[in-house]
């Protein structure tokens, strides 16, 4: 069999999207939102259970306002206009299409602690399914972006210590809840090359990941999969950074398992991407996104299988199979539907089965 993993996020239903907006505006109480989230997780799990050959499921991250700042008391991030002046928080610009501005840590929020952890709704998933499941957490490098200016009495060095502890705790709580795998989202790795082409920011980010790894046991670290991508929001990337810069830097980290984009970077780059990974992987394991989150058409299983076979031939081993990026990292992305995302996942599982047969891995 070929290993498979989902990225994590699935589009929320229109009803839940409206509820998140109402909650953020103060027009919906938390218990009412929680009831909708519970029902939504049940729906996600039920649909996952129907997909033949899908070995691991998630909550779809429907319980999170987004993948990026779920750890805050209210982590909702509105859809903003691109290239606006006067922003206070770190802002991700999506190729001139729109922007997402992160919150700024305030004095009253110190010392820094997570308000929410990735395991918060895993008991709900387990209530509706007995299948192996994947939890998702945010990378420390993303969390670090909320510390904008020096806070009196709370220097950045202390903040970094606190955030590393909290990120390690986030992973440990997910594993303690029974997660077979914990996906660590680090989309900011590719964005780092957009804001600093020297690579220093990226290397500093990898350093933060390594600090978290140092707090994990070998068994815990083996359950972590680091995922990066080039953005996924309203069918738009936040950049098209050079994978030749990003992938080697990540593969040098203490992480053992990786989840990297492939199909969305274009067929003309396939062999170059694979050679880059082969030259830097050093005995680690990699899942590749053989299904593109940016292609609106659902790929044929045969085409997915061909990509897996190509990768196996170049890498010398069969990589894990997944999608390039989450299908709806932000709760207020109205451009995708869960039905479309599930069709993509079905195609992924069928493509993996077909490739396994051709490669005689059954």
pLDDT at 290: 97
**Could you give the number of structural domains in the chain?**
1
Q: Is 185 helix (H, G, I), strand (E, B) or coil?
A: strand
**213, 245, 183, 23: CA torsion to nearest 10:** 110
Q: Which residue, chain included where needed, has tokens 């083996």?
A: 222
Q: Is residue 4 a part of any domain in this protein?
A: no
Q: Is residue 203 a part of any domain in this protein?
A: yes
DSSP sequence for 323-360: ESS-S-SBTT--S--HHHHHHHHHHHHHHHHHHHHHTT
Instruction: For strands 91-94 and 98-101, give the pairing.
Output: antiparallel
Q: Which residue, chain included where needed, has tokens 């996942």?
A: 345
Q: Is residue 209 a part of any domain in this protein?
A: yes
Q: Which domain holds residue 313?
A: 14-358
pLDDT lower than 50: segments of the chain: 234-235
Q: How far is CA 156 from CA 75, 146, 147, 208, in A?
A: 21, 11, 7, 13
Nearest to 120 by CA among 64, 161, 54, 46: 64
Q: Is residue 8 a part of any domain in this protein?
A: no
Q: Is residue 279 a part of any domain in this protein?
A: yes
Q: Is residue 40 a part of any domain in this protein?
A: yes
pLDDT at 150: 94
DSSP sequence for 287-324: EEEEE-SS-SSPPPHHHHHHHHHHHHHHHSSPPEEEES
Q: Is residue 53 a part of any domain in this protein?
A: yes
Q: Is residue 6 a part of any domain in this protein?
A: no
CATH of the domain at 152: 3.20.20.210
pLDDT at 262: 95
| Distance, CA of 113 to chain centre | 21
**pTM score of the predicted model:** 0.94
């Amino acid at each position: 069999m070929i290993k498979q993993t989902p990225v994590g996020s699935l589009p929320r239903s229109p009803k839940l999207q409206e509820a998140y907006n109402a909650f953020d505006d103060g027009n919906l109480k938390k218990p009412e939102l929680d009831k909708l989230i519970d029902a939504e997780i049940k729906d996600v799990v039920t649909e996952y259970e129907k997909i033949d050959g899908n070995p691991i499921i998630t909550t779809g991250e429907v319980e999170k306002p987004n993948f990026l700042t779920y750890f805050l008391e209210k982590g909702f991030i509105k859809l903003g206009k691109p290239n606006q002046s006067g922003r206070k928080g770190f802002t991700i610009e999506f190729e001139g299409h729109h922007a997402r501005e992160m919150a700024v840590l305030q004095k009253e929020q110190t010392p820094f602690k997570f308000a929410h952890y990735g395991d918060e709704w895993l008991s709900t998933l387990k209530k509706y399914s007995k299948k192996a499941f994947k939890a998702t957490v945010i990378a420390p490098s993303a969390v670090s972006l909320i510390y904008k200016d020096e806070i009196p009495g709370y220097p950045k060095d202390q903040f970094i210590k606190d955030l590393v502890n909290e990120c390690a705790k986030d992973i440990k709580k997910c594993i303690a809840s029974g997660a077979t795998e914990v996906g660590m989202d680090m989309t900011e790795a590719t964005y780092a090359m957009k804001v600093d082409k020297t690579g220093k920011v990226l290397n500093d980010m990898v350093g933060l990941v390594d600090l978290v790894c140092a707090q994990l046991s070998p068994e815990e670290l083996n359950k972590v999969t680091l995922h990066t991508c080039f953005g996924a929001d309203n069918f738009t990337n936040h950049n098209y950074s050079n994978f030749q810069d990003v992938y080697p830097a990540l593969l040098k980290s203490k992480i053992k398992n990786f989840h990297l984009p492939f199909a969305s970077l274009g067929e003309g780059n396939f062999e170059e991407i694979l050679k880059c990974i082969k030259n830097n992987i050093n005995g680690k394991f990699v899942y590749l996104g053989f299904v593109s989150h940016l292609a609106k058409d659902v790929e044929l299983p045969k085409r997915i299988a061909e990509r897996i076979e190509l990768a196996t031939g170049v890498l010398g081993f069969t990589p894990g199979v997944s999608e390039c990026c989450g299908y709806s990292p932000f709760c207020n992305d109205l451009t995708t539907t869960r039905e479309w995302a599930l069709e993509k996942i079905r195609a992924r599982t069928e493509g993996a089965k077909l490739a396994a047969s051709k490669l005689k891995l059954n």
